[in-house]
Chains A and B, each alone.
Chain A
Amino acid sequence: MKKKLTRRPTSAIAWLLPVVLLISNQCETYVDIDYEPQLNVFGILSNAQQRQEILVDRTYQIEEPTGPVIDDALVILSRDDLFDTLEFSIPDVRYISSPFTLVPEGTYDIMVSSDGFDTLRGATTIPGNFTIFFPGYGDTLTFQDTITLSRSEGAQLYSVAFSQSAGGFGPFTWHESQPSDTIVQIPVADYWEEALEGYYTIYIASYDNNFYEYYLVEGDSIKQAGVTGGVGLFGSTWIRTTSTYVLFQ
């Protein structure tokens, strides 16, 4: 009886070890990532240019080598009276539209398709036109002044960029307005600490919600700003300019 007891565990181990070794050989050695790459589009329609530009790229699985941008996609920009198939420009590395004039508050659609990827669709509504109340052309601007403009319909984000007439850029800032604002006020002192006196061209731009979402809304790592079926941004901006003499006092 005693002999039987002492042998039992030995045989159990002998039985167990091959099973264990068999299982160990079946072990997984790779990570099976479940992700299908998608199109990645970047385009901001702007009234400052006649031809609109769309960059078409793709997402990559994490360990996939980076490739060139996609140059054989079908990219169509459309509105009620517009249907434009964009052409790929090798030097610009993006798709360029035919010349046309953007309509403020008009909605433009985009469709991008390429073999091996889901079709990407997007839409943007161009921000409304606005008036720069101050400074007007030829006005003098000081640190104590506030740039004042009428609200751009559909926009809650603005930017102000100063460009020296003699060449070179001056200060730049972003400004968020409240939805209830009818007048947008941007104090100069908030962002301009030191710069040369002189003549400047001021570029004031308003941005649609897609742009705002792409750059200012934090959280989701998958940016789908105005697009579905892929990632990226399809947004728009409306730009107005004025010239002024900036005086520091």
Chain B
Amino acid sequence: MNTNDIISSGLLELHAAGLTSSTEASQVEQWLNEFPEVAAEYAAITAGLEAYAQSTGVQPSPSVKERIFQKINEDQIGRVVAMKESPVTIKTGGVPSFWRTAAAAAILLLLGSIALNIVNYNKYTQANKDLETSEQSLASLEEKNKLMEADMSVVQSKYSVPVALKGLEAAPDAAAKIFWMKNTGEVFIDPSNLPETPQGKQYQLWAIVDGKPVDAGMILTSKQGDKFRIQKMKSFGKAEAFAVTLETEKGNPTPEGPMFVMGKM
């Protein structure tokens, strides 16, 4: 048979499909080794088939790949253990019992060490997590502490003159405290006992100077987070009294809303 006859016989196509009998198959394999033209033709046939199979492929679900890799990894671990054990088991006759015991002990130690590593690693990650939470709560406590200290420095200052503002008709239970620094004229207010403001309204502090109310600033009363902290208002060299009214947001040049609390120096 010459190479042209082989190529045109259709046997190569059959072989690529795995449809040749074993005699035919070995014959084809021999030709493939012997004749480069036949091998090239066979390569072209199988390349065409591969492209055809690719074009009619059916995408499997992603879980198949995961399962396969899980399986080969399991098998690999099994194989490693088997390899480690084999010298011990196969040569039992020739190996002195001391070495057998030693090898067994070594394997046990290895397995033990692996287990210990896993346990330690888990402990380590847990400890890391715990540390992170602790650090976070520490930071928030420090923040709180700083604010408290700022409040305390106002209250404790030897120059601070406290003025109690008492609840009026609009809010008999309300109260507020003013701390007036007699050395600097700075005014601080502790508004923590004022009722929550309605939407769109804000408290405004007034200093009564020469019988007239003068704007002393808007009071921040956000209830979110650390609300109602002691806060710095406008400074006054002198004032007869302080009062708080409920005004529209951003405040008014003269008091328009109801007065909540008031106190004289």
A binds B: no
